[in-house]
Structure 1
Amino acid sequence: MTEVDALTWQEFEQYVADLCRRDGCTRVVVSGGSGDLGADVVGYLADGRKLVVQCKKYAPHRSVSSQDMQKFVGTARLEHGADVALFVTTCRTFTKAALGLALRQDIVALHRDLLGSWVKGARLEALIPLNGGGGGTKRRPSS
């Protein structure tokens, strides 16, 4: 994680996109920055589901707030059409309110420890269900 901590927020978004590609995601685009409406990375999982990722490069001691999560919840599906909405951060925790919201709204909350596992080679498909109810598995692409 030392390597990840040294990245700028822009490099972190590109790094997450590269992890998605490594794990078989296709049509991966980095769209982060002002005006992205919460979609820093967009792509498609191997099974065809649309993946929308919010990346937050925070110091390890910080937490993702409910406000951060609310913004992503408000756009991930309605604005971007996510089948799987993934909130990935370099900090260790989500506040209780942020995690509760993520679980209720089927958002995958990937904190520092899970990100570290992803960086070390765990596949995204294996990490998604570790978020409990926020696994992003309820919606399937239409045939």
Structure 2
Amino acid sequence: MSATGFEQACAELLARDGFRRPKRVGGAGDLGVDITVRDDEERLLIVQCKQYQSPVGSGHVQKFNGTARPHHGADLPIMIALNGFTQPAIDFAQHHQLILMGRPELKRWAHGEHLYDVLGIQSTTR
């Protein structure tokens, strides 16, 4: 699957879960956002999808942190990596309250679980 195909597949899963107006905006100059979408509580999810052959490192997570909330106004910044994250990336994300989603979570999501159930996110409308 191409990088664009991976982003589109994630956008389709968001639509399946009832998120409103999923929009794939990834590509050159996307400033760290591949998908924007809102939930029923009007929270803005900014999603970055990485389909790298190796785990995503801290530098990519730091870059996402620098744009997700300050530039895009994310309520829930989520980075999805097909092959997971390095420990420094995980540590950084925890410190900055970024949501990371690796292959095990992606598999559960793709097989029918709602994104919020997979990630343990509370919602008052579900």
TM class by shorter-chain length?
over 0.9
TM-score using structure 2 length: 0.92
Q: Which runs of 5+ in 1 are unaligned?
A: 1-6, 130-134, 138-143
**Pairing 1:55-70 to 2, within 5 Å after superposition:** 55-59=49-53, 62-70=54-62
SS at 2:92 equivalent: helix
1:54 maps onto 2:48 in alignment = yes
Partner of 1:107: 98
Identity %: 37
SS at 2:31 equivalent: coil
Give 1:48 deviation, angstroms.
1.5
The counterpart of 1:73, out of the listed 25, 43, 65, is: 65
Paired residues in the alignment total 122
Partner of 1:16: 10
Runs of 4+ in 1 over 2 A off after TM superposition: none
**Pairing 1:89-108 to 2, within 5 Å after superposition:** 89-91=81-83, 93-108=84-99
SS at 2:30 equivalent: coil
SS at 2:79 equivalent: strand
* Equivalent residue letter for 1:33: G
Give 1:46 deviation, angstroms.
2.2
Q: Which runs of 5+ in 2 are unaligned?
A: none
- Alpha carbon RMSD of aligned pairs, Å? 1.2
Mapped to 1, the partners of 2:73 and 2:35 lie a distance apart of: 13
Contact 2:105 2:119 in 1 (8 A): no
Give 1:57 deviation, angstroms.
0.8
1:37 maps onto 2:31 in alignment = yes
* Equivalent residue letter for 2:111: K
